[in-house]
Amino acid sequence: MRSTTGAAMFKKIFLTVLMIFITAVVAADAQDKKPVFHVMNLEGVITAPSAKYVAERLEDAKQAGAEGLIILMDTPGGLDTAMRDITKSILNAPLPVIVYVYPSGARAASAGVIIAQAAHIAAMAPGTNIGAAHPVAIGIGGTAELDKNMSKKVENDAAAYARSIAKIRGRSEEWVEKAVRKSESIT
């Protein structure tokens, strides 16, 4: 017949061994789990549906518990409002966003430059380029003087926005301003 002290001691030892075993199993399971990143394509002209698509994919990645979102990008640029919506989504994303200019032969031009600048990580496949972000106004009419003033206003706004995004992410403010003002492009 066991004493109550022996039974209590046995119970404590058993529970301690059980807890060690459970901890080991949980730790081993955690080590087996690989980080999961969601991947999406952003191709063609940047438009309002593009901005909605990026926001939806970010939300999907968050809901799935993904470690981040990888955007495979190939764009000639697009609408300023859509680019700004995408940029805001990335800057305020609840998880890291990686923009990868892909595949070889792809580009991140115009609006694509600013989107890439907003990403936590921006990378490029070999044989790709980024730049030429000078704003292009479509449909502005009027006198030559008005067009010149409007163009300068739009350019200054785009340059300031690009610099602010580069600063947030610790990237070259000087280069991104040259991409906007002088249409510089790099590989």
Q: Tell me which residues are annotated as active site.
A: 110, 153
Percentage helix, strand, coil, to 5, in the chain? 55, 20, 30
Give CA separation, 89 vs 82, 101, 122, 179, in Å.
Answer: 11, 18, 16, 22
Q: Identify residue 70 by its one-letter amino acid code.
A: I
d(CA 120, CA 12): 49
The three-state DSSP-derived secondary structure of 56-113 is HHHHHHHHCCCCEEEEEEEECCECHHHHHHHHHHHHCCCCCEEEEECCCCCEEECHHH
What is the residue whose two structure tokens read 């785009």?
A: 158
Tell me the β-bridge partners of 97: 69
d(CA 41, CA 53): 10
